[in-house]
């Protein structure tokens, strides 16, 4: 019987999969926006392909004035182009999604981050150097801000196709001087020694120094914020797929197939057989200490019980934005603080001139931001006005999971060693949920279904696993020759399955935002490989902490409105 169910499910899935590519037909997007999407795909493929070229961006050491001034140079201009293009395409895509019917409010914030916040970085670097290209860069930045404000807050309608091209160009324009400076310095340092003018080289180095110093750190922080929105959007798309799958295939045979695939993925991650594991923090998928599993089981049981109640009585979607924003700010507190401090120093230096001293935050401020943002979930978890809402469920699971984790983080930063680990990793929660669903599936196949229906079991086994595994792949996206292929394949698969069936504004917005996020993540991953001091592990770890509350949100059954 299981074999029959599995074969029917696979055949139906194959028939649907064959029809999916038609949703990427050329006529689905207006021609100008189609060009932006294709440029994003090509750019992402090129940057991911850099993973096959070892040492391409390895900084080379050079010297001036007979070795008295030693500096490193790396040809990062393609990565800067990726951030520029990705920011422009993301701004246009989020303008479409933020002005659609029932648009999530955070899309407008991410649009401002992509279209206004990120291009501010090279402008401030130019202003510090008192370089004349700062003036046209500021003009482009102001024009982009005016265009975005008009679309988001005045007309409240999606931007047109050709104005969208103009907006993408205006957002990307401030990066062009940094790209040009990096190329000029590269040509100069690689010229024959007889043609090198030491004074001219020094001027070129000064033009490129701001890019090498400030841009990677703050760009990574800003892109991490945008990637958070992208992860949330991708997770929503994956949850929509899971909901569709579970709604139309409520047989336990299909659930057994999903459980089998989940177990295979978990085994590959925990054992690393064949080198297919994500490789994120070597001990991340290994079993934790005995003291961590009670916490993991408690959180998994809370997710299963809470979502099971929503299947008996669907809850209101109210509170989803509030709780998601609180968890996101809390998990990304360190990246937010870095972005604010570096931006403040850039603004101060741009106004007052370069200074050896800068603005430094008080020690432990990131912990304060982390705890304050997390504790804003407490009123949502207990107040009566949030009863029967998905916000209350997310708040309770978020507090249950994150409080022990944050206690450990706080004690570590205070220099206090904890003798026994008592906090669970998201991977452990995923393993426990998989065990719960496997047990429910065995009872279902035996004709004795329990309190977890097949539709809910499909969600519990699919959504958390996809979120945690997908996020843990980010740091090593170009670390080995195999991972670019996996990343591109996964991105194209997600793009196909997230695509609305009809063309129009919703279709254009999803295509552009998914394409831009792929390009931004690829460029950011490459920057991480160039600068060893900048690690993608911190943003990725933050997104993994975000994964458990987000899984709860996406597994719950909500009623319309």
pLDDT of residue 417: 82
Residues of the chain with pLDDT under 50: 1-2, 5, 26, 231-232, 234-239, 241-242, 245-246, 476-488, 536
**What's the token pair of residue 407?**
């206690």
Helices (H), 249-364: 252-271, 293-312, 320-331, 333-352
Please answer whether residues 148 and 116 qualify as being in contact, where contact means their C-beta atoms are separated by less than 8 angstroms: yes
Gap between the Cα atoms of 38 and 26, Å rounded: 11
pLDDT of residue 18: 56
Gap between the Cα atoms of 541 and 405, Å rounded: 12
Backbone angles phi, psi at 60, to 5 degrees: -105, 140
So where are the chain's domains? 27-250+317-421+497-532+544-551
| CB hemisphere CA count around 293 (13 angstroms) | 8
pLDDT of residue 495: 54
Please answer whether residues 455 and 248 qualify as being in contact, where contact means their C-beta atoms are separated by less than 8 angstroms: no
Buried b (16+ CB within 10 A) or exposed e, 446-469: eeeeeebbbbbbbbbbbbbbbbbb
496: buried, middle or exposed (CB in 10 Å: 19+, 13-18, 0-12)?
middle
pLDDT of residue 242: 46
Tens digit of pLDDT for each residue in 142-178?
999 999 888 888 887 878 888 888 999 999 999 888 8
Gap between the Cα atoms of 525 and 519, Å rounded: 10
pLDDT of residue 484: 42
How far are the Cα atoms of 39, 163, 436 from residue 490, in angstroms, in the given order?
Answer: 18, 31, 27
pTM value > 0.75? no
pLDDT of residue 380: 92
pLDDT of residue 120: 83
pLDDT of residue 300: 94
- Cβ neighbors of 431 (< 8 A, separation 6 or more) are 266, 296
pLDDT of residue 355: 67
pLDDT of residue 162: 87
The maximal CA–CA distance of the chain, rounded, in angstroms, is 84
- Cβ neighbors of 326 (< 8 A, separation 6 or more) are 373, 374, 376, 377, 398
pLDDT of residue 142: 92
Task: Give the torsion through C-alpha atoms of 396, 110, 121, 32, to 10 deg.
Answer: 150
**What's the token pair of residue 103?**
């648009």
pLDDT of residue 235: 45
Gap between the Cα atoms of 83 and 174, Å rounded: 11
**What's the token pair of residue 513?**
């935002």
**What's the token pair of residue 65?**
């004035």
Please answer whether residues 189 and 201 qualify as being in contact, where contact means their C-beta atoms are separated by less than 8 angstroms: yes
């Amino acid at each position: 019987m299981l074999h029959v169910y599995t074969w029917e499910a696979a055949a139906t899935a194959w028939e649907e999969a064959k029809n999916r590519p038609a949703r990427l037909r050329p006529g689905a997007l207006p021609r100008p926006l189609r060009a932006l999407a294709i440029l994003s795909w090509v750019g992402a493929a090129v940057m991911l392909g850099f993973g096959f070229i070892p040492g391409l961006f390895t900084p080379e050491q050079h010297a001036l004035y007979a070795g008295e001034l030693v500096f490193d140079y790396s040809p990062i201009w393609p990565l800067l182009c990726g951030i520029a293009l990705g920011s422009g395409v993301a701004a246009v895509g989020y303008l479409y999604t933020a002005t659609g019917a029932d648009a999530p409010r955070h899309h407008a914030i991410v649009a401002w981050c992509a279209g206004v916040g990120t291009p501010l970085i090279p402008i401030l670097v130019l202003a510090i150097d008192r370089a004349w290209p700062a003036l046209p860069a500021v003009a482009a930045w102001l024009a982009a801000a005016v265009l975005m404000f008009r679309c988001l807050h005045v007309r409240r309608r999606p931007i047109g196709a050709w104005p969208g091209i103009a907006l993408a160009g205006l957002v990307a324009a401030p990066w062009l001087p940094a790209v040009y400076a990096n190329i000029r310095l590269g040509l100069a340092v690689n010229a024959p020694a007889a043609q090198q003018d030491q004074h001219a080289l020094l001027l070129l180095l000064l033009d490129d120094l701001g890019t090498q110093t400030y841009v990677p750190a703050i760009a990574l922080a800003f892109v991490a914020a945008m990637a958070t929105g992208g992860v949330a959007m991708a997770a929503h798309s994956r949850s929509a797929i899971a909901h569709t799958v579970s709604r139309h295939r409520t047989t336990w045979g299909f659930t057994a197939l999903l459980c089998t695939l989940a177990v295979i993925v978990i085994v590959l991650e925990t054992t690393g057989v064949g080198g297919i594991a994500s490789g994120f923090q070597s001990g991340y998928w290994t079993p934790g200490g005995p003291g961590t599993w009670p916490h993991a089981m408690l959180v998994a049981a809370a997710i299963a019980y809470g979502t099971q109640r929503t299947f008996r009585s669907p809850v209101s979607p109210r509170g989803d934005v509030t709780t998601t924003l609180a968890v996101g700010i809390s998990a990304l507190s360190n990246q937010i603080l870095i972005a604010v401090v570096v931006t403040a120093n850039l603004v101060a230096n741009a106004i007052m001139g370069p200074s050896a001293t800068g603005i430094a935050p008080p020690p432990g401020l990131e912990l304060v931001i982390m705890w304050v943002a997390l504790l804003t979930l407490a009123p949502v978890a207990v107040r009566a006005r949030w009863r029967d809402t998905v916000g209350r469920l997310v708040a309770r699971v978020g507090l249950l999971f994150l409080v022990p984790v944050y206690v450990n983080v706080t004690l570590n930063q205070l220099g206090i060693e904890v003798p026994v680990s008592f906090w669970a990793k998201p991977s452990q929660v995923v393993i426990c949920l998989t065990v719960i669903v496997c047990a429910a599936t065995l009872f279902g196949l035996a004709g004795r279904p329990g309190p977890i229906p097949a539709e809910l079991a499909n969600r519990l086994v699919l959504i958390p696993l996809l979120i945690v595994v997908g996020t843990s792949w980010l740091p090593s996206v170009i670390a080995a020759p195999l991972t670019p292929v996996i990343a591109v394949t996964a991105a194209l698969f997600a793009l196909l399955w997230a695509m609305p069936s009809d063309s129009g504004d919703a279709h254009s917005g999803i295509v552009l935002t998914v394409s831009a996020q792929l390009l931004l993540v690829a460029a950011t991953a490459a920057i991480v490989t160039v600068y060893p001091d900048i690690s993608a592990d911190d943003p990725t770890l933050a997104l993994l902490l975000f994964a458990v509350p987000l899984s709860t949100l996406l597994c719950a059954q909500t009623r319309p409105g």
